[in-house]
Amino acid sequence: MMEKTKIILDCDPGHDDAVAILMAGGHPAIDLQAITVVSGNQTLEKTAVNAMNVCQYLGLDIPVYAGCSEPMVRKKIIAGDIHGETGLDGPEFDPLTRTLEKEHAVTFLTRKLMESDGDITIVITGPMTNVGMAMRMEPRIIPKIKQIVFMGGAYTNGNITPAAEFNIAADAEAAYVVFNSGVPITMCGLDITRKVLCYPEIVERMERVGNKASRLFGDLMRFFCKTQKEVFGWEGGPLHDPTTIAYLIDPSVLTLKYVHGSVEIRSEESYGRTNCDIFDYMKKEPNMNVAVDIDVEKFWNLVETCIKCYQN
């Protein structure tokens, strides 16, 4: 019997976060224990509703906890140009009957991790505010976190400034806390997510599965790809966040390099830059596995496999 990977998904749905929820909620190798949401692609109120709508639509009985509505230090930024006014423009959902858990996500994270046997993986696909605040609120959770797998950063160029990727730039101080925590970290940055562009033929391939998950994927990706073309001029949108879940299902989908990674929090121009010392120039102690390549065919096969895990 395959051992399931226990995860908490901390996210800011967001179209690609929604596909990450779909994959984590569907595949038998993943035990999605809870979803915690944060301000990022849209305000917290909207990312929370989006997470609940996705779970309700897919029939996922997963608790959703709302977390931080503001970054630790900087002024909040959102990505309405990419994800729309709701943060999940495109799909039409039935009236929402799901409700949020009463506990704040940061309180939940500290409680759940302290109660755990140290077997929970934290997947972060939005700004790191919730996890950074939890580490500051209760440092004893740090040895209790099995590993952190996150989508964010880049050792090539950014996507919100020339230097920085959105998730990190949205709260670089939180990323600084996480990067320096000592927790085993795997980074899925733009360097590899930009290789999994969701072209129209990919959308059509997933829609041919013909179930509710495939319909959601199509509705999400048709909007996401439209805005990516408007903003970046690309035919297909990079499916960033699901690379984390694909890696947990089949680690061979990524090629990793164990390097020293840091995040810039003082520079005006390069705030949020992730400096990953891929060629070990600085001879500093490595502290994270950085994805340097992705098996594109294997990735899309994993996405399709997860979509097929839904019955109707």
Residues that bind ligand RIB (CB under 6 A): 12, 14, 16-17, 40-41, 79, 125-126, 151, 159, 165-167, 240-241
Active-site position among 12, 16, 219, 295:
12
Number of residues interacting with Ca ion: please give it, by CB under 5 A. 6
DSSP for residue 140 = G
Q: Which does 166 bind (CB under 5 to 8 A by kind): Ca ion, ligand RIB, none?
A: ligand RIB
Q: Which does 214 bind (CB under 5 to 8 A by kind): Ca ion, ligand RIB, none?
A: none
CB of 105 vs ligand RIB, minimal distance in Å: 16
Number of C-beta neighbours around residue 118 at 10 A:
10
The residue type found at 167 is N
107-146 residues in contact with Ca ion (CB under 5 A) are 125-126
With a CB cutoff of 8 Å and minimum separation 6, the contacts of 37 are 10, 11, 12, 13, 44, 47, 48, 50, 51, 64, 65, 66, 67, 105, 126
Q: In the complex with ligand RIB, which residue's Cβ is closer, 36 or 110?
A: 36
Active site residue 89: no
- Both ends of the chain: CA-CA distance in Å? 25
Sole residue written with tokens 């990419």: 82
Distance of CA 136 to the CA centre of its chain: 21
Q: In the complex with Ca ion, which residue's Cβ is closer, 141 or 239?
A: 239
Q: Is 242 in the site for Ca ion (CB under 5 A)?
A: no
CB of 260 vs Ca ion, minimal distance in Å: 25
**Distance separating alpha carbons of residues 65 and 38, to the nearest angstrom:** 9
Give the residue numbers annotated as catalytic, written as ranges: 12
Give the footprint of Ca ion on this chain (CB under 5 A): 12, 14, 17, 125-126, 241
